[in-house]
Amino acid sequence: MSGYEHALKYWYPIAMANELAEGQTKHTQLLGNDIVLCGNNRGSADVRTAGKPLLVQSDYGHVWTTLSDDPHPLFSIPEASEHGRRFVPCGVVRVSCSPLRAVENFLDIAHFPFVHTGILGSEPHTEVYKYDVNIDETADEVFATNIKFFQPQASKSAEGGIETEYIYRVPAPMAAVLYKTCPPKPEYLDVIALFVQPLDEETCDVWPWMALYDDTSSMADLIQFQQLIFVQDRSILENQMPRRLPIDPGHEIPTKADLTSIAYRRWLKKRGAYYGAFEGI
């Protein structure tokens, strides 16, 4: 099975819920195919490619579609139904890079002091302490746990620097979910997810979505905070060579801090998720 055929079996975000008024159309791409959305009266959209209707579902603040008639089910985020959380779709950031590079960057903490300076990290607090990475065999997901990192401004709601705890989950090749310490409620974890729409193997639309405990920040401030972070990431992602993610060891040199990235690449390889992967020498 080719990387493309493998990628066909998943759901991908193509719009925010309620983005389209009834009858309003929007053109986009998915895995190199032209897609047309037409807003309906349920806050969702009818979706077609080359005239053929596609399956659609609304979840996690977005409209999702798939090119398959028999897709894998959309992964579950249980926190999406918890009372008390604010759900924040953050819009879209287009990035000229492989969708897999976008996910891998989201799983990386060692870049915080250099790319998100003064926000998610700062020198001299650069050390990445030992953490754990596992493949959950039942769910077939990558999990990284016991990550701790000093953050000057962990979120919009943070007042001063804190040591933040992180848990990462990779439930699908082009999605990642992050659980991190909620600054106003340290006993809870905020959820930040990255849903990636692969336009083709070297271009993607990134749809961040959050489920937070924060009753004070304005929606605009919450979105602006995440947009700033992702625009900073884009300056990196569009300058990584090659644009596609090298999955085989030997092309790039990881360290212990990259355990999540190493596990992610192995997990992609094992399942044949080569769409957006670099297969050169």
Partner 1 sequence: MSTEPIGLARDLAPKGVMRAQIGHTDIAIWRSTNGVVSAWENRCPHRGMRLSHGFVRGESLACAYHGWHYDCSGKCHYIPAHPELEPPSTIRPSIYSVVEQAGILWVNTIADADPVTLPKDLLSIRSITLACDLPTAIDSFSSAAQTEVSLFNGSVSVFSQQPSILSLSSPDGADGIFILFQQPYPHRVVAHVLANNLYQANDLIALSRWCESVRRAAEQNTQSSNAPASSL
Residue numbers of the site for partner 1 (CB under 8 A)?
110-111, 113-115, 123, 126-128, 235-236, 239-242, 246, 252-257
Closest CB 108 distance from partner 1, rounded Å: 8
**Residue 17 corresponds to which tokens in the numbers above?**
């819920």
Task: Kindly tell me which of 220 and 253 has the beta carbon lying closer to partner 1.
Answer: 253
270: left (phi over 0), alpha (psi -120 to 50) or beta: alpha
Task: Kindly tell me which of 42 and 256 has the beta carbon lying closer to partner 1.
Answer: 256
Task: Kindly tell me which of 14 and 229 has the beta carbon lying closer to partner 1.
Answer: 229
Are the beta carbons of 23 and 17 closer than 8 angstroms? no
Are the beta carbons of 197 and 207 closer than 8 angstroms? yes
Q: What is the dihedral of CA 102, 100, 164, 162, to 10 degrees?
A: -20
Closest CB 202 distance from partner 1, rounded Å: 13
Closest CB 123 distance from partner 1, rounded Å: 7
Task: Kindly tell me which of 74 and 245 has the beta carbon lying closer to partner 1.
Answer: 245
DSSP assignment string, 164-182: EEEEEEEEETTEEEEEEEE
User: Strand, coil or helix: what is 221?
Assistant: helix
Closest CB 49 distance from partner 1, rounded Å: 32
Closest CB 266 distance from partner 1, rounded Å: 16
Task: Kindly tell me which of 57 and 240 has the beta carbon lying closer to partner 1.
Answer: 240
**Residue 16 corresponds to which tokens in the numbers above?**
């925010």
Please confirm whether the linkage preceding 183 is cis (ω < 30° from 0): no
Separation between Cα atoms, residue 206 and residue 102, nearest integer Å = 8
Separation between Cα atoms, residue 188 and residue 182, nearest integer Å = 6
Task: Kindly tell me which of 152 and 246 has the beta carbon lying closer to partner 1.
Answer: 246
Closest-CA residue to 265 (of 135, 177, 92, 128): 135
Closest CB 280 distance from partner 1, rounded Å: 12
Tokens 């699908």 -> residue: 172
Q: Computed from CA positions of residues 55, 196, 243, 135, in that sequence, does the dihedral angle turn out positive or negative?
A: negative
Task: Kindly tell me which of 136 and 238 has the beta carbon lying closer to partner 1.
Answer: 238
Closest CB 78 distance from partner 1, rounded Å: 31
